[in-house]
């Protein structure tokens, strides 16, 4: 029995290592390829560069189309942080209303909100663009951020609703007996207990906003306002021949904030709401 258990453990370890290698290989290849000179792309099919160089990073840090790289990083950071703040504030308030408040038509409104998850984004592109154009918001960050502060992301609202519904109502009743209203209950009781949902929503909102390409492409016209995904397009379009080495170097730099953000907050993804309630 002990020998069989040891063999099973070894097999599982080998399988897990193989899965991790498959998942991490593209990232490792991208990091290695960022040190390849352009002459090796297409000719060197190996994993490691034959003549490693840091010229790609030097070229990237010198700017893209005359614009400093830091500008694109700051633009992406502004959009990502704004998306996180807007999503957490608006979605948590909407989720509390659906989970705790009694009002006419609540089941219908909740069903309609969930139904928006089935609506393709491409169906909304033209109507939304017409609305923002009529409001003179084209080439600004408002079209990219205003929806985050209006709880238009049904996925995050649904996620938080499920967390709030698992909280014991006795906590709300005890607070209400002490004279607390809905604002005090929301900020003092509900928000601390749904911290795992808030962190999870923040991670997804940050990653989706940081990697978003289509929305900035539609609404932004000035290169100085472009985030990093559009900066990559500028870098490839400024010459007739794409600079693959520099493009991959920018991709590696653009990936670092997402990895750091996830590493810092990933432990909150596995925390249970019941455990949070006991700690509080």
pLDDT-based confidence at residue 237 (cuts at 50, 70, 90): low
State the pLDDT at residue 133: 94
| Mean pLDDT score of the chain | 85
Whether the predicted pLDDT of 23 surpasses 50: yes
H runs (alpha helix) in 135-272? 142-145, 154-165, 169-177, 182-185, 191-193, 195-211, 214-219, 228-237, 244-265
pLDDT band at 139 (very low <50, low <70, confident <90, very high): very high
Q: Is 164 helix (H, G, I), strand (E, B) or coil?
A: helix
Average pLDDT of the residues in 19-30? 90
**Quick check: 255 pLDDT over 50?**
yes
Domain ranges of the chain: 59-279
Kind plus residue range of the DSSP H or E element containing 111: helix 106-115
* CATH class of this structure's domain 59-279: mainly alpha
pLDDT tens per residue, range 149-189: 999 999 999 999 988 998 888 988 899 988 888 999 999 99
State the pLDDT at residue 66.
79
Residue 95 pLDDT exceeds 50: yes
CA 21, CA 12: separation in Å to the nearest integer?
A: 14
pLDDT at 200: 86
What's residue 9's pLDDT? 85
What is the reported pTM? 0.84
């Amino acid at each position: 029995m002990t020998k069989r258990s040891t063999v099973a453990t070894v097999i599982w370890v080998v399988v897990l290592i193989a899965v991790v290698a498959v998942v991490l290989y593209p990232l490792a290849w991208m990091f290695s390829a960022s040190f390849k000179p352009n002459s090796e792309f297409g000719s060197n099919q190996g994993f490691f560069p034959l003549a490693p160089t840091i010229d790609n990073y030097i070229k990237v840090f010198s700017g893209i189309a005359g614009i400093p790289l830091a500008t694109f990083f700051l633009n992406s950071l502004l959009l990502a942080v704004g998306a996180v703040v807007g999503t957490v504030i608006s979605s948590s308030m909407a989720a509390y209303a659906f989970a705790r408040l009694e009002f006419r038509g609540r089941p219908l409104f909740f069903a309609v909100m969930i139904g928006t998850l089935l609506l393709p984004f491409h169906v909304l592109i033209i109507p939304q663009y017409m609305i923002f154009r009529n409001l003179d918001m084209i080439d600004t960050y408002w079209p990219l951020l205003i929806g985050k502060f209006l709880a238009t992301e049904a996925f995050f609202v649904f996620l938080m609703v499920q967390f709030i519904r698992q909280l014991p109502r006795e906590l709300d009743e005890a607070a209400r007996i002490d004279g607390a209203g809905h604002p005090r209950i929301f900020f003092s009781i509900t928000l601390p207990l749904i911290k795992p949902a808030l962190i999870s929503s923040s991670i997804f909102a940050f990653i989706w906003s940081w990697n978003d390409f289509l929305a900035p492409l539609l609404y932004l016209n000035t290169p100085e306002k472009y985030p990093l995904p559009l900066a990559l397009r500028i870098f490839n379009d400024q010459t007739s021949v794409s600079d693959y080495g520099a493009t991959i170097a920018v991709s590696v730099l653009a990936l670092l904030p997402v990895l750091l953000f996830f590493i810092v907050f990933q432990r909150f993804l596995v925390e249970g709401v019941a455990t949070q309630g006991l700690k509080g």
